[in-house]
Amino acid sequence: MIITNFKTYETATSDKAFSLAKIHEEVAKETGADIRVAVQAVDLARISHEVDIPVMAQHIDPVTHGSATGHILPESVQLAGGKGVILNHSERRLKREILEASIKRAKEVGLVTVICAESPEEGASFLEFDPDFIAVEPPELIGGDISVSTSQPEIIEHSAKLIGSEKLLIGAGIKNGEDVRIAKKLGAQGVLLASGVTKAENPKAVLMDLASGL
């Protein structure tokens, strides 16, 4: 599995987000790889309905229909065509009780949950909430040029032991197929990345390389 987080990059906003998502769709069809995108809330409905790969939200709130101005309603994500959600990213950390409630609400509407953790130990502590996937991302490597696969492979091995390979995703500095191959070999189901694709001069070539690592 490859999940690209579009964040709020200028290259992954509005029409550019749609174009980038279409490239992900092309690569998924050409390679057979499980490729997903996590897009901004205002882009989610359009991309979900026009791109034939799973589209995820970057956040939801543990609210229900009613008085919750400015929050992201899980039902709205599901009705807009969203298939999942990223929660507790290092740029949007949640208090533990909010995270638990958000996972519960996501499950109630059928959204796949990808929960971010800063360490193997923190990731293992989230198992009690029964998320679908836990993405371990050392914060010091996020958005950088050094991948966790090459610089700290022991983190992947330790995460697999604590969390279990069936739920484990790896992120932080992932850039190429070799990073994906290492992550898979050491026990991860796949990878979560952002700038390696969203800032690439040739996103399709990068995605093809990443997919080769699966």
Q: What's the CA gap between 213 and 196, in Å, rounded?
A: 15
- Residue with token string 């990345």: 193
Q: Is 24 a catalytic residue?
A: no
Alpha-carbon dihedral of residues 96, 98, 102, 104, nearest 10 degrees?
Answer: 70
- Residue with token string 């740029």: 91
Catalytically annotated residue among 25, 59, 118, 137: 137
The token duo for 81 is 């065509």
Catalytically annotated residue among 89, 97, 128, 157: 89
Per DSSP (E only), the strands in the chain are: 2-5, 35-39, 55-57, 84-87, 112-117, 133-136, 168-171, 190-193
Q: Is 49 a catalytic residue?
A: no
Catalytic residue numbers? 89, 137
